[in-house]
Amino acid sequence: MADTLIMFNIRKKGFIIVLSAFMMIMAFWLQGCSLDNTAYDEEPVKDSESIAGSLITVGFSQVGSESDWRMANTKSVQEAFTVDKGYALIFNDGQQKQENQIKAIREFIDQDVDYILLDPCVEKGWDSALREAKEAGIPVIVYDRMVDVSDTDLYDAWIGSDFYLEGKKACTWLTEYLESIEYDGDINIVDLQGTLGASAQIGRTKALNDAVSKNGKWHLIAQETGDFTTAKGKEIMEAMLIKNGGNINVVYCENDNMAYGAIEAIRAAGYKIGTNLKNNEILILSFDASNEGLRLTMDGVIAVNTECSPLYGDMLVEMIEALGDGEKLEKNTYIEEEQFSNFKGIGSLRIDGNSYFVNEVDEELLENREY
């Protein structure tokens, strides 16, 4: 499992120093300065040791590249932690395996990085690696998915989405929608879960299970993991269609990529997708609100899409800067997110005393979308 400095394979801090020095020298030369004995007013190029001292080294353990959301997230972090901004980012792709991420953390410790960013594959099983980082005096920021450890002091802070609230938004929207069209029949739901044990899966699945248990006419007839991928989502949806045929009313997809796979499988099997349940159309709920997911929402293929933003880069920079200034971070920080649908009858939702807008999707929104 190779470590990379942004896009390049770099394993040792010493090489980062040499590369950084080379980049600065090249930038100086490209500005029109020749490397000879002529005197100039500009400051001389710093030596490698000076450059090394100015760089903050950050080890970044990413889950993998299983979805559009994940790739947008990686890009956001990489663009925030660049050499010209004073950072040397050592990126590691965990390939959706916790053992790879644990190994990466230990390599970051050996490389004596200044900070560690961790987007954990699953919640449990991090105590040993995080304890080693703490003993080495390296602050750890966990983001996106959570960790479930025996001592929360093993990491400095977590920032991410309220995945249970995301699920409640989707289920509340479905409740409001059924009421708005005066649909009083039973609803058969299938759930394409994310990677089992991941925070997003835990929160979104629990929200659906809770909603089903509270509504006697909602029936969860199938629930299986699609690992947040398009291919697995299609495979699981195909199996569910074979077993349940035309009895499926709602597909609850725990991310956009699985929704893409489900849509392909539903269409291939000859079933209709839409929001007209009385006409045997299958209604699709999804999460992420990626650009393609929102386009499908605008077209009415996805009935409602609940946002999970991947854009953490700048927020993580601010957190590291605060730690560098000696500030203590909030232990848990939830980011604000939106919800989208092309159905104009529901403009907002009321959940636990709070109101949440449901936004309509148009071309302008898609053009300005960062992911």
Residue 50 is assigned to a structural domain of this protein: yes
Q: Are residues 141 and 257 in the same domain?
A: no
Q: Are residues 250 and 209 in the same domain?
A: yes
Nearest partner of 13 among 116, 107, 129, judged by Cα = 107
Task: Kindly report the CATH number assigned to the domain that includes residue 100.
Answer: 3.40.50.2300
Q: How confident is the model at residue 7 (pLDDT cuts 50, 70, 90)?
A: very low
Q: Are residues 156 and 48 in the same domain?
A: yes
More confident residue, 371 or 166: 166
* Domain hosting residue 357, numbered range: 163-308+338-368
Q: Are residues 149 and 262 in the same domain?
A: no
Whether 294 has a pLDDT exceeding 70, the answer reads yes
The pLDDT value recorded for residue 245 is: 79
The pLDDT value recorded for residue 246 is: 86
Residue 126 is assigned to a structural domain of this protein: yes
Q: Are residues 149 and 253 in the same domain?
A: no
Over residues 205-222, mean pLDDT:
98
Of 129, 160, 191, at which residue does a domain stop?
160
The pLDDT value recorded for residue 27 is: 40
The pLDDT value recorded for residue 53 is: 61
pLDDT digits (tens, 9 = 90+) for 314-366: 999 999 999 999 999 999 999 999 999 999 999 999 999 999 999 999 999 99
191 CA to centre of own chain:
19
Residue 175 in tokens: 């409740």
Q: Are residues 137 and 39 in the same domain?
A: yes
Q: Are residues 103 and 54 in the same domain?
A: yes
Of 160, 194, 219, at which residue does a domain stop?
160
Residue 321 is assigned to a structural domain of this protein: no
Nearest partner of 276 among 169, 346, 181, 195, judged by Cα = 181
Which pTM value belongs to this model?
0.85
Residue 333 is assigned to a structural domain of this protein: no
Give the C-alpha separation, 10 to 89, whole Å. 10
Residue 146 in tokens: 């959570």
Give the C-alpha separation, 310 to 109, whole Å. 26
Domains: count for the chain: 2
pLDDT digits (tens, 9 = 90+) for 15-45: 444 344 444 434 433 333 333 333 333 344 4
